[in-house]
């Protein structure tokens, strides 16, 4: 069954999210703070598909919990709940491993669209990994990089690079279109889907994160290049 961990210290918001999750067929594990969320994850990590984390929580805040969960799992989907005034926290959340964020106040339709989109990515990733040993290998090699579409892995000169599911999908899009300029909106559509409610900033943050992982000198990239006024391209 689809399982979600929700960590939110405001009971009214947590109850609202839980009700909508259960109506949509999700099983829910509730935490009132970050410390409890990490403990619950440790006891159920193999079953949890998505974590929804409020940024502002007593004790361990959402950013700390996000980093902890991402260090334990590359495949879990992570969505941050933020206030409109927490602009830097949104960016920071994405940089430390979140897949998406939802700004309070939010509607049930917006929230569930985001959660469903992340769940679809988690499911596709898990299916690909589970089938990796049962199907013929399908890998794309561009210079020193090899992207394995079955096992969802990226290597550079044979050394593995840890990617989140979102980062892998961005790389998949680049490797399918080498040397082609891809707009932010195209990347957003490919990775997050047509129904995504958010803005294109999420693309920029993930590109920044990817550069730190794939480039020898992230401040002077030679592969992941900015196309000013448009988007990005992967140079081979």
Instruction: Note the pLDDT of residue 86.
Output: 67
Among the residue ranges 35-49, 135-149, 202-216, the one predicted with the least confidence is 135-149
CA-based nearest residue to 236, from 137, 150, 147, 167 = 147
Segment 93-121 mean pLDDT:
88
Q: What is the mean pLDDT of the chain?
A: 89
Assign residue 193 a region: left if phi > 0, alpha if psi is -120 to 50, beta otherwise? left
Segment 109-119 mean pLDDT:
88
Instruction: Note the pLDDT of residue 131.
Output: 58
CA 221, 225, 231, 234 dihedral sign is negative
Cβ neighbours of residue 12 closer than 8 Å, sequence gap 6 or more:
none
Confidence of residue 36 (pLDDT cuts 50, 70, 90): very high
Q: Cα–Cα distances in Å, from 45 out to 27, 40, 90, 102, 121? A: 14, 8, 24, 23, 17
Instruction: Note the pLDDT of residue 186.
Output: 93
Q: Cα–Cα distances in Å, from 167 out to 27, 173, 201? A: 27, 10, 15
Instruction: Note the pLDDT of residue 164.
Output: 86
Confidence of residue 123 (pLDDT cuts 50, 70, 90): confident
pLDDT digits (tens, 9 = 90+) for 215-229: 999 999 999 999 998
pLDDT digits (tens, 9 = 90+) for 161-204: 988 888 999 999 999 999 999 999 999 988 887 777 677 888 99
Q: Is the pLDDT of residue 16 over 90?
A: yes
Cβ neighbours of residue 142 closer than 8 Å, sequence gap 6 or more:
175, 178, 234, 236
Segment 39-60 mean pLDDT:
90
pLDDT digits (tens, 9 = 90+) for 50-83: 999 999 998 899 999 999 999 998 889 999 998 8
């Amino acid at each position: 069954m689809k399982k979600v961990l929700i960590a939110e210290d405001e009971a009214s918001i947590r109850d609202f999210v839980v009700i909508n999750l259960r109506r949509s067929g999700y099983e829910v594990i509730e935490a009132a703070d970050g410390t409890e969320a990490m403990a619950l994850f440790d006891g159920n990590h193999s079953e949890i598909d998505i974590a929804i984390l409020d940024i502002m929580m007593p004790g361990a805040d959402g950013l700390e919990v996000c980093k902890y969960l991402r260090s334990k799992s590359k495949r879990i989907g992570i969505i941050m709940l933020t206030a409109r005034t927490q602009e830097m926290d949104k960016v920071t959340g994405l940089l430390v491993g979140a897949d998406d964020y939802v700004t309070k106040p939010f509607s049930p339709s917006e929230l569930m669209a985001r959660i469903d989109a992340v769940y679809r990515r988690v499911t596709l990733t898990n299916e690909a990994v589970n089938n990796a040993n049962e199907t013929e290998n399908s890998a794309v090699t561009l210079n020193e990089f090899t992207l394995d579409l079955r096992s969802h892995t990226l290597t550079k000169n044979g050394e593995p690079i840890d990617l989140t599911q979102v980062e892998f999908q961005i790389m998949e899009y680049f490797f399918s279109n080498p040397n082609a300029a891809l707009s932010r909106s195209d990347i957003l559509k490919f990775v997050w889907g047509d129904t995504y409610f958010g803005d294109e900033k999420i693309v920029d943050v993930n590109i920044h994160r990817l550069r730190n992982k794939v480039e020898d000198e992230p401040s002077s990239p030679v592969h992941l290049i900015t196309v000013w006024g448009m988007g990005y391209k992967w140079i081979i």
